[in-house]
């Protein structure tokens, strides 16, 4: 175990909320991850601070969101739909009106604010699985996101004088985080996601989007083609993330560890296993900066809980490279309860080769057009 202070943000209240029966958002995400971490000895009394979050205040929410939108969302909290809500994205299939929708999301924002405050109070690593709502706009809900906890936390950190590197490996582009900091050089936003050519939010996240004004060069996107596997994902991640992070010299990292990047998740078309995912998380943790990690997307309880348990093990200092040394209870594939690792995934060679060429094209564009802003040699 590394000598660092870590905290896990968790509340049983998250699971008490529920939208309609077929709504894909998994309110149990925090609990199943927390339970699996505890079952595998990754949250031990005295080594990890378990934090019970509190709701964000209206003033905190208003550091990003418009107060009129907050009033509307508070009306939606009773679970009664009004037609006027549609213009703000409320009452759609992806952002339905349900009882407690304001309470749930204000608690999620509160959890991420708590995490940001802990970093400033001396904690080194904080993980809040119920966080990462990067599609919510100032006055609208979108993509299962009603309130943008990330932008609120980033605003808090930069106002305190911190230089923040934001990295997002969710399958979906962080469109509203990019929008909020597109002209700002205090936050460098880096997103690895499935291309908008094949996945929501469609119209953003292309490599040509580099920022504007003071923020030019401080927005970097790596759109991945559908069917991207571990090899191409990791090649792109290794080519772009470490040099940018080292050149930017942040004092804090904010990471969205979306588990919908994994092949077992039906809400994207990527073919990454949690072994490849963990290697990216390890590269993030090796930067040795204070780290605020949030869950982001994930629509399969089994795969997200295993991925986030492995991610927590990495960022909180456990070694998981050798499963004979750290075997998570000694379970192997032949047992009733499988290892936390995904099985290897077969990808046809022609698909791998085509996707590698596309990843190389995107990375070459970034090296040519974004790296010079940070004096990174190609």
**Tokens matching residue 180:** 């909020």
pLDDT, residue 333, reads: 35
* Residue 192: other Cβ atoms inside 10 A: 27
pLDDT, residue 321, reads: 53
pLDDT, residue 326, reads: 36
pLDDT, residue 319, reads: 65
pLDDT, residue 47, reads: 78
Identify the structural domains of the chain with CATH numbers, from first to last.
6-322+340-374 (3.40.800.20)
Contact in structure between 230 and 273 (CB atoms under 8 Å): yes
For the annotated catalytic residues, the residue numbers are: 135
Distance CA 190, CA 220 (A): 5
Residue of 342, 368, 366 lying closest to 229 (CA atoms): 342
Helices 101-120 and 149-159 cross at an angle (nearest 10°) of 30
pLDDT, residue 327, reads: 39
Ordered per-residue pLDDT tens for the chain, 378 residues: 445 899 999 999 999 999 988 999 999 999 999 999 999 989 977 779 999 999 999 999 999 999 999 999 999 999 999 999 999 999 999 999 999 999 999 999 999 999 999 999 999 999 999 999 999 999 999 999 999 999 999 999 999 999 999 999 999 999 999 999 999 999 999 999 999 999 999 999 999 999 999 999 999 999 999 999 999 999 999 999 999 999 999 999 999 999 999 999 999 999 999 999 999 999 999 998 899 999 999 999 999 999 999 999 999 998 665 443 333 433 333 332 348 999 899 999 999 999 999 999 999 999 999 999 999 987
**Tokens matching residue 104:** 């749930």
């Amino acid at each position: 175990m590394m000598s660092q202070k870590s905290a896990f943000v968790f509340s049983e209240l998250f699971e008490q909320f529920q939208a309609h029966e077929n709504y894909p958002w998994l309110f149990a995400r925090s609990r199943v991850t927390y339970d699996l971490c505890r079952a595998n000895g990754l949250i031990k009394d005295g080594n990890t601070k378990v934090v019970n979050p509190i709701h964000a205040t209206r003033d905190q929410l208003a550091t990003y969101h418009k107060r009129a939108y907050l009033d509307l969302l508070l009306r939606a909290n009773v679970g009664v739909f009004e037609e006027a809500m549609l213009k703000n994205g409320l009452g759609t299939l992806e952002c339905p009106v349900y009882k407690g929708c304001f309470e749930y999301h204000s608690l999620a924002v509160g959890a991420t604010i708590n995490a940001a405050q802990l970093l400033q109070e001396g904690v080194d690593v904080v993980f809040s699985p119920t966080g990462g709502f990067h599609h919510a706009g100032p006055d609208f809900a979108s993509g299962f996101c009603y309130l943008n906890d990330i932008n609120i936390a980033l605003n808090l950190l930069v106002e305190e004088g911190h230089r923040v590197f934001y990295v997002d490996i969710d399958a979906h582009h962080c469109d509203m985080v990019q929008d909020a900091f597109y002209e700002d050089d205090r936050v460098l936003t880096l997103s690895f996601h499935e291309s908008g050519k094949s996945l929501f939010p469609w119209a953003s996240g292309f490599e040509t989007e580099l920022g504007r004004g003071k923020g030019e060069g401080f927005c970097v996107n790596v759109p991945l083609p559908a069917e991207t596997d571990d090899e191409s994902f990791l090649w792109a991640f290794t080519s772009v993330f470490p040099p940018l992070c080292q050149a930017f010299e942040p004092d804090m990292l904010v990471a969205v560890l979306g588990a919908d990047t994994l092949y077992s998740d039906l809400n994207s078309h990527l073919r990454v296993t949690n072994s490849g995912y963990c290697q990216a998380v390890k590269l993030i943790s090796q930067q040795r900066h204070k780290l605020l990690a949030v869950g982001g997307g994930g629509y399969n309880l089994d795969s997200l809980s295993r991925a986030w348990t492995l991610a927590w093990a990495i960022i909180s200092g456990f070694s998981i490279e050798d499963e004979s040394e750290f075997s998570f209870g000694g379970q192997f594939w032949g047992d009733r309860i499988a290892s936390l690792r995904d099985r290897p995934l077969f990808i046809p060679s022609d698909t791998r080769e085509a996707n590698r060429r596309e990843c190389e094209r995107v990375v070459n564009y970034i090296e040519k057009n974004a790296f010079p802003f940070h004096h990174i040699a190609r």
